[in-house]
Chain A
């Protein structure tokens, strides 16, 4: 009797039909709203590029594609880009593996320092390495002049070296996390059965890591072929697709050909995205539970130890030198040419203006991005509607998309009504939001997976509406994910170059673009000082993130996924 009364009371208190409908379908309404956002700011620009590549003055045409595949220059550019990707992936994988092997299996003494140095490039914009190579080996470089050499840094070799250095941390992070998830008892068992170190590597470690290594390889490949800065700064006369796209748009204002070039770059990305999602699905070897013991250092045979130590030391040394050189160069007009110690570079007005702009854009991007990210994560994890996986795929895809595509896409989509955004801060911020959405979504998803859905059901059971539950239960729990997503987006946005380089308007420079221009025009001091400022900002973000992740463990789970 009493329960019947209560239930009647509950029903009547839930109010009108509209309210009931809202309550029952709020998650679906939210999903629909988010999907509209994704469609408008992510899919529509890509579609715009796609259409542009087929649309000549007289309507549909294939002539731009025909041109691409018939001209030797473009063929060369494609070839260079793919070759760069292959070499880069191979080198990063080998170095990343050596580093990860040493930090997880090597002597205790080496583990920490190697790990720190291999993660250091994370705090730098990728083009820092191009800059430092110019300072060292450029026409007026320290080494070039010091040894009176006559070589050419600008070209394929320079790009490969700078790219490799820039992508080591990503390779290292991904491989380290797979190595750490490998039960050390497996290798110990093989060791116990009489296998030597090399045999363990060949028969146990590498076969078991294969899916993880392949994943890392695919991601690095996609990111290196799409990376803009190093190739644009150091490419010289050697054509690469990403910088070619930029010249095509800014130099020749040929949007049709620019679209074709950027889409050619997207093809391998899409291919690899599908391989990643479908071929590798469920390819992870399951290992039997039980507490995994931290890998104790083994007596690694010199046959393996010596080359590993050499490779890791050279890589770590090179990374360290690059940082040191840029730091030093930031205090001279041009290091090695003028040798008067100055602070002018740090006081330069345009540099500081660009830093200020970058911070503003990134703050806006991070706020919107983290919010949408958390909401998307919620919808993806808890939603039960049709097309959930599609939304997940779309929201994570921005990360693997070449920046040039979204750069051109935004130019094409938002330079005219219905939504004219060009020339303002919003187009830059929104571009960053949707390119780096994966970061916030991943943070949210990993946090949500830690929360039992029963917590929400308990709240609903106690009579709370969907909105109340979301507001009172979900949001507070998701708050650390929001903050992590915020800082990650901020960090990624502030150093990103490849898309925003299309979107900055004259008089509103971003720091990354400023560094790029300064490096191209030989203003090494300004470029270095601006880079150091960015490094400082990113370091502060990392420190905050580190503090948060110690409190909530969310950053750590993200770092393992290699999203940084």
Chain B
């Protein structure tokens, strides 16, 4: 995606607060969404992500702050006058209308001439590969087809921003993967600015240009999927996007030239290659160690750099992956072995060694 940094953002949220009675569900949210970008709000339930989406759509009043769409402040515009379109989790297709009538509803409301509506509806149905289904009633469609109709309806008026509220959560697992890819392809082709809401962090990472991780009404971190996964801002984010073996330590030294650092832990010194500049020598840190970055081998008794010894507690072989649990002292470490070719030798192993990679993200302890 070519993002021109100097281009004016499509959507700006400025210090948004939302109260329900005395309950503050959004506690000051600011964000810029670029043109043609797919941004995902992700977080545990109750974090305020759906409320934020409904605020952008105009379905909920904002308590304070500003919403700016393409340079225009839209705080007080009702949904029918905002150039945003929403796709609800349950699709909200009109059950008393056909597929074509559903897709053409917005066009009709906006007083398009009949022939133009028909042409546009055909074009949209073509786009979502439902050209043969125009005359069907909604309840005669499968879940995936309904999802496509909802998507086509939301796109019918070519909105400036498309809002998707957990659009895939009513589909079964396989279909979800297929639809996820389709939505992303279509979004990139149409270059339509999209805000996507999900509680599924893997879906979020797979589909987005950028993720907005939320918790308790606040944004915890904004970043690309790679940034969020590899350089999480805090413990919550680190464990929200995948399992983490946290290891406490203190930075013993940093080589200014090579950026090589040594972290002293209770399991010995770990050498890492520091890629961040917010860490100083002497800092207490948490090492973020992903299960798949660790490697496991049988204990040969020699003392090596970045290798710690432990006991293999369990070894669960599942074909493409083996999940291992190793106890290092009283600390449990999870190790994911992908493509576990030499699984046989671990099945009855007891003493093993775990190698910690040199590229480890550090979190400063407060």
Contact = CB atoms under 8 A, between A and B. Distances in A.
Nearest to B102: A189
A186 B92 contact: yes
Interface in B162-209: 169-170
Interface string A23-45: 00000000000000000000000
Interface in A143-198: 183, 185-186, 188-196
Given A288-B146, A290-B170, A191 B106 contact: no
B95 A191 contact: no
B139 A286 contact: yes
B9 to A, nearest CB: 22
Contacts of B92: 183, 185-186, 188-189, 288
A467 B250 CA distance: 72
B175 to A, nearest CB: 15
A296 B25 CA distance: 15
A286 B80 contact: no
A289 interface: yes
Interface in B102-117: 105-106, 109-110
B89 interface: yes
Contacts of B86: 188-189, 192
Nearest to A290: B90
A289 B80 contact: no
A192 B79 contact: yes
B90 A193 contact: no
A476 interface: no
A187 to B, nearest CB: 9
A288 B170 contact: yes
A190 to B, nearest CB: 7
B326 to A, nearest CB: 41
B139 A196 contact: no
B91 interface: yes
Interface in A256-299: 285-292, 296, 298-299
A261 to B, nearest CB: 42
Nearest to B110: A194
B168 to A, nearest CB: 12
A208 interface: yes
A196 B143 CA distance: 29
B105 A193 contact: yes
Contacts of A286: 95, 139
A391 B121 CA distance: 50
Contacts of B153: 189, 193
A189 B97 CA distance: 14
A186 B58 CA distance: 15
Contacts of B78: 191, 298-299
B96 interface: yes
Nearest to B141: A288
Given A183-B90, A193-B85, A289-B170, A188 B79 contact: yes
A520 interface: no
A191 B106 CA distance: 9
Among A207, A290, A292, max chain B CB count under 10 A is at A290
Given A188-B59, A194-B109, A287 B80 contact: no
Given A207-B96, A299-B78, A195 B88 contact: no
Q: How big is chain B's contact interface, by range?
A: 20 to 34
A195 B109 contact: yes
B157 interface: yes
Given A185-B88, A288-B170, A196 B94 contact: no
Nearest to A299: B78
A548 interface: no
Contacts of B94: 186, 189-190, 204, 208
A500 B238 CA distance: 74
Contacts of B93: 288
Contact of B89 (A191, A196, A285, A290): A290
Contacts of A291: 89-90
Contacts of B89: 185, 290-291
Contact of A285 (B81, B88, B95, B170): B95
A199 interface: yes
B260 interface: no
A111 to B, nearest CB: 14
A287 B90 contact: yes
Interface in B40-65: 57-60
Contacts of B81: 194
A298 B59 CA distance: 7
Contacts of A199: 109
B88 A193 contact: no
A191 B91 CA distance: 14
Contacts of A194: 80-81, 106, 109-110, 157
A299 B77 CA distance: 10
A207 B101 CA distance: 14
Contact of A191 (B80, B110, B156): B80
A188 B139 contact: no
A194 B85 CA distance: 9
Contacts of A285: 95-96
B95 A287 contact: yes
A290 B58 CA distance: 21
A295 to B, nearest CB: 10
Given A193-B153, A194-B110, A296-B60, A188 B80 contact: no
A192 B96 contact: no
Among B59, B80, B92, max chain A CB count under 10 A is at B92
Contacts of B146: 288
Contacts of B90: 183, 185, 287-292
Contact of A208 (B96, B109, B143, B157): B96
Contacts of A188: 59, 79, 86, 88, 92
5 contacts: A190-B94, A192-B57, A193-B157, A194-B109, A195-B105
Given A194-B80, A195-B80, A290-B89, 7 more contacts: A188-B88, A190-B105, A194-B106, A285-B95, A287-B95, A290-B88, A291-B90
Q: Considering the complex of A and B, which 4 residue pairs feature the smallest CB-CB distances, nearest first?
A: A290-B90, A193-B106, A185-B92, A285-B95
